[in-house]
Amino acid sequence: MADSLTVVLVYPELLGTYGDVGNAQVLVQRARWRGVSARVERVGVADAVPAYGDVYVLGGGEDQAQLLAVNRLRAQRGLHSAVAAGAPVLAVCAGLQLLGWSFVDGAGLEHAGLGLLDCRSDRLGGPRAVGELLTQPRPEGIPLLTGFENHQGRTVLGRDATPFGDVVSGVGNGDGTDGAVAGSIVATYAHGPVLARNPALADSLLSRVMGAFEPIDDEPECALRRERIRTVTSNLRRRRGASVRLGRQ
């Protein structure tokens, strides 16, 4: 097992609008609780993204900030090298969109993404997707994913990416799926922060770097998960008037 861990938080000033900086804090603390010295490396707007990080975290942000972030990331190789070397990357919302081939801003203009993830994003028709997001993740070992989405994006995956999960409640990518998985990248529309609400996902990212480790006591996280999942499913039942079937929780 590695004896130290660096979580690179990519442009939190640009991609931290919805509390997603918490994802880095969750990773670092869960590594520390297992005896690994860990730290967050915050990459400032004017700084280069280092290639030596163990895990990379990108969050959501406003249109203008997303554009600035993608322009900066395209002008350097740090994130590209890390992805090529297989470092786990968690990308949320705007972070997901800018890893893809292209995305569309609020004015309807298309911008090139980094092309690290085989997907394209444009705008959802209709109202902004705002509310609880509940999905059934496709990767083994990750139970129901709970988060909060707040976006106007619609994402279509290419052949080299698979959806991260299937939407139980909410909008996600806009086609019944949410997010994308390709190689070492995991992407979702879920804020929350998503790792605080889904410690199993945090541990699955960590285990790729740290190897196998013991479970830890997740009582408040589990209580929060139960509460959020119950809220969403009771709303669903009320709306659909039918039973809602859920897999593993």
Partner 1 sequence: MTARLLAGSPGAPATTTRWHPTPSRRFRFARRLALTASALSRATGYGAGTTIGGRVLLWIDPDGLRVAARGRTAAVVTGTNGKTTTRTLLVAALSRRGPVVSNRGGANLRAGVGMALARDLSAPTAVLEVDEYVVEPVVAETTADVVVLLNLSRDQLDRVAEVSSVAARWRTMLGSARIGTVVANADDPHVVWAAADAPRVVWVAPCSRWLGDAATCPACGEPLDMDPVDWHCRCGLRRPHPAWRVEAGSLVAPDGRRHPLHLQLPGAVNETNAAFAAAAATCLGLPLQDSLDAFEGVATVEGRYDVVSYRGREVRVLLAKNPAGWTETIGMVRPPPATLVLSVNARTADGRDPAWLWDVPFERWAGRPVIVTGERALDLLVRLKYAGVAARHVPRLRDAMLAGDRRCPTEVVANYTTFRQLLRLLHDG
Measure the CA angle with vertex 245, ends 90 and 186; round to 5°.
10
Rounded to whole angstroms, the Cα distance separating 248 from 145 reads 10
* Minimum distance of partner 1 from residue 47's CB (angstroms): 10
The yes or no reply on residue 224 touching partner 1 (CB under 8 A) is: yes
Residue 200: enclosing H or E segment and its boundaries? helix 199-210
Compute the half-sphere exposure of residue 125: CA atoms within 13 Å on the CB side of its CA. Answer: 1
The yes or no reply on residue 178 touching partner 1 (CB under 8 A) is: no
Stretch that binds partner 1, among 20-28, 81-89, 107-115, 118-126 (CB under 8 A): 20-28
* Minimum distance of partner 1 from residue 94's CB (angstroms): 11
**CB nearer to partner 1: pick between 10 and 67:** 67
Residues 6+ apart with CB under 8 A from 91: 57, 58, 98, 99, 117, 185, 186, 187, 188
* Minimum distance of partner 1 from residue 223's CB (angstroms): 5
Please give the backbone phi and psi of residue 64, each rounded to the nearest 5 degrees, phi first: -65, -40
Rounded to whole angstroms, the Cα distance separating 125 from 117 reads 23
The yes or no reply on residue 202 touching partner 1 (CB under 8 A) is: no
Binding string to partner 1 for residues 69 to 108, with x set by CB under 8 A, is what?
----------------------------------------
**CB nearer to partner 1: pick between 62 and 166:** 62
The yes or no reply on residue 162 touching partner 1 (CB under 8 A) is: no
Q: Which of residues 119-148 bind partner 1 (CB under 8 A)?
A: 130-131, 148
Taking the CB of residue 45, how many other CB atoms lie within 10 A of it?
12
CB 57 within 8 A of CB 69: no
Interacting residues toward partner 1 by CB under 8 A: 13-14, 16-22, 25-26, 29, 45-46, 62-65, 67-68, 130-131, 148, 150, 191-193, 196-197, 220-221, 223-224, 227
